[in-house]
Amino acid sequence: MEARDLETLAIGEFGRLAGLSIKALRLYDVSGLLRPDSVDPDTGYRRYRADQLDRARRISLLRRIAMPLAEIAKVIDAPDEEAGPRLDRWWAGQEAAMQNRRGSVAWLRGQLMHGISQPEQTYAVSTRDVPATKVAALVTEVYQSTLVEAMRTCEWTLREHLTQQRAALTPEFWVLYHGPVTPDSDATIEVCIPFIGAVEPAGEIVIRVEPAHRESYTTVARDDAFYPRILGAYEAVSAYVARHSLVPSGPDREIYLNDWDQISGADPFVQVAQPILE
């Protein structure tokens, strides 16, 4: 190790070189993301090694793109061959969330400018039988503003676990809504990935069987899969269920059929479904 790697820096100087504030460095110490080399037992004054600057600068850059601390820890602590793909997956989630917001803005602009609105989409609703399906699942709490990012984070966590255990899976994943997601109140969602194989649960990942059931559903194109336009699909399914005197038997769900960036805007992207009693 070179002599300069053994040099220690006061927290202010270290923060200046790393592009981080003293407040941020204290937070990263408490969270375990970036521990100081030493802490004076009397004054609490922190000092850092010069060879910690590379980690600190990476943290600074990741914070500049608004990556949460928990995700930063996963990226910078991952082996080199995994860190890049983790960053790519997280950024793809940010782009998907932005695309969702962009669609909402376009819809609102039409509503606000002289009452112009986009033509209402009509949805054909069908009914199908769904067999019992083994899934890996994660449950989380979300607001509308954090929904897309939470969905993608859960999806990637599940896929990583299933891939490590050599399960067979497809691009499909489900989001079950155990309550209404709004801008002002959180709700519970459950992200599920169907798979084939022998997989053990780990941490918060649950392995369970989604019971066989019958459901009414409709399919939404990628360009219509944003709030509030996707509400038309929910309304179509709800109206179908009421019109045929069917009884809902489980949470509303969205079945995502493919990756956002692998299909065009008019391609089928997600199915909105409501389980019903036989």
Same domain assignment for residues 12 and 131: no
For residue 206, being part of any structural domain is answered with yes
The tens digit of pLDDT for each residue in 246-261 reads 999 999 999 999 987 7
The edge-to-edge listing of strands for the beta sheet with 8-10 is 8-10, 46-49, 38-39
For residue 82, being part of any structural domain is answered with no
Looking up residue 63, the CATH number of its domain turns out to be: 1.10.1660.10
The tens digit of pLDDT for each residue in 158-188 reads 999 999 999 999 999 999 999 888 777 789 9
**Which residue carries 């899976």 as its tokens?**
169
Percent of the chain with pLDDT over 70: 91
Looking up residue 195, the CATH number of its domain turns out to be: 3.20.80.10
DSSP assigned state of 10: E
For residue 235, being part of any structural domain is answered with yes
Same domain assignment for residues 164 and 260: yes
Same domain assignment for residues 221 and 151: yes
Name the band, by pLDDT with cuts 50, 70 and 90, for residue 118.
low
Q: What is the pLDDT of residue 267?
A: 94
Same domain assignment for residues 131 and 71: no
CA distance 163 to 185: 34
For residue 243, being part of any structural domain is answered with yes
Same domain assignment for residues 134 and 13: no
The tens digit of pLDDT for each residue in 203-262 reads 999 999 999 999 999 999 988 888 778 888 999 999 999 999 999 999 999 999 998 778
**Which residue carries 């983790």 as its tokens?**
86
Same domain assignment for residues 136 and 252: yes
Q: What is the mean pLDDT of residues 13-29?
A: 92
Q: What are phi and psi of 208, to 5 degrees?
A: -145, 175
Most confident of 26-35, 110-119, 178-187: 26-35
Nearest to 216 by CA among 121, 83, 123, 82: 123
Q: What is the pLDDT of residue 176?
A: 97
Q: What is the mean pLDDT of residues 52-79?
A: 90
Name the band, by pLDDT with cuts 50, 70 and 90, for residue 1.
very low
Q: What is the pLDDT of residue 5?
A: 44
Q: What letter represents residue 6's amino acid?
A: L
For residue 83, being part of any structural domain is answered with no
Same domain assignment for residues 147 and 16: no
Same domain assignment for residues 71 and 131: no
CA distance 247 to 152: 31
For residue 91, being part of any structural domain is answered with no
Same domain assignment for residues 261 and 150: yes
Same domain assignment for residues 65 and 148: no
- Three-state SS string across 217-239, please? EEEEEHHHCCCCCCHHHHHHHHH
Nearest to 35 by CA among 61, 57, 55, 64: 55
Same domain assignment for residues 131 and 269: yes
Q: What is the pLDDT of residue 116?
A: 57
For residue 90, being part of any structural domain is answered with no
Q: What is the pLDDT of residue 107?
A: 64
Name the band, by pLDDT with cuts 50, 70 and 90, for residue 128.
very high
Name the band, by pLDDT with cuts 50, 70 and 90, for residue 39.
very high
- CA torsion 159-163-168-170 (nearest 10°) is 30
Same domain assignment for residues 43 and 146: no
Name the band, by pLDDT with cuts 50, 70 and 90, for residue 3.
very low
Name the band, by pLDDT with cuts 50, 70 and 90, for residue 96.
confident
Range of the domain at 29: 3-76
Number of structural domains (the chain) is: 2
Nearest to 217 by CA among 181, 254, 245, 256: 254
Instruction: Kindly report the pTM of this predicted structure.
Output: 0.69
**Which residue carries 């400018």 as its tokens?**
113
For residue 134, being part of any structural domain is answered with yes
Q: Which residues face 138 on adjacent strands?
A: 191
